[in-house]
């Protein structure tokens, strides 16, 4: 039984890291599009991020961050929720840009500044998994099961409201 739980912890960590690596790559590509003021490319990437990251965002907000409250301050955890909200606002804003009436260079610069915060969040959050070393083995199983459940539901990021409650999923 102990070995199985160790395997679950490793699997959870591996999936968690893969999700962060994929999101990090998407954000890097978004940064590249914003730097050359490629509206269409940035919008495509914003849609991709929205589509592919919802399950992981929901997992973090519902399962991971509450588990971190044992190890971090309330302010640190709250900041992570705020960074998710700010990241979604950036993604949603990019999706509304109009090719016929393009954003100014200043708006692109502002988007890049907000993107930098998201990039740091992804890097920091990936490192936070180690902060949960004090969890009981059964808690890792619960987290793993919840992550798999969110992946089955596959919500888009935009379908998770500011309180972490999924409004719409692909199952609905």
> What residues contact residue 89 under an 8 Å CB cut-off, 6+ apart?
114
Q: Would you tell me how many other CB atoms lie within 10 Å of the CB of residue 160?
A: 25
Q: What is the DSSP letter of 129?
A: G
What percentage of the chain reaches a pLDDT higher than 90? 56
> Please, where are the H alpha helices in 60-104?
65-68, 74-96
Determine the Cα–Cα distance for residues 125 and 80; give it in Å rounded to an integer. 8
pTM of the predicted model as reported, rounded to 2 decimal places: 0.86
Locate tokens 């509450």: which residue? 66
Give tens-digit pLDDT for 54-98: 999 999 999 988 888 888 888 988 888 889 989 999 999 999 999
Beta carbons of 69 and 97 less than 8 angstroms apart: no
Sign of CA dihedral 162, 83, 11, 67: negative
């Amino acid at each position: 039984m102990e070995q199985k739980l160790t395997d679950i912890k490793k699997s959870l960590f591996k999936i968690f890291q893969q999700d962060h690596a994929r999101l990090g790559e998407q954000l890097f590509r978004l940064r590249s599009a914003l730097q050359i003021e490629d509206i269409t490319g940035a919008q495509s990437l914003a849609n991709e991020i929205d589509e592919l990251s919802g399950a992981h965002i929901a997992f973090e907000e519902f399962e991971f961050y509450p588990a971190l409250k044992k190890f971090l301050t309330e302010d640190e955890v709250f900041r992570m929720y705020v960074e998710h909200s700010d990241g979604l606002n950036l993604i949603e804003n990019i999706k509304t840009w109009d090719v016929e009436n393009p954003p100014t260079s200043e708006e692109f610069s502002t988007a890049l500044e907000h993107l930098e915060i998201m990039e740091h969040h992804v890097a920091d959050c990936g490192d936070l998994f180690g902060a949960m070393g004090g969890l009981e083995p059964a808690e890792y199983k619960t987290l793993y099961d919840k992550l798999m459940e969110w992946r089955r539901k596959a919500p888009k990021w935009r379908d998770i409201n500011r309180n972490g409650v999924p409004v719409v999923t692909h199952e609905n």
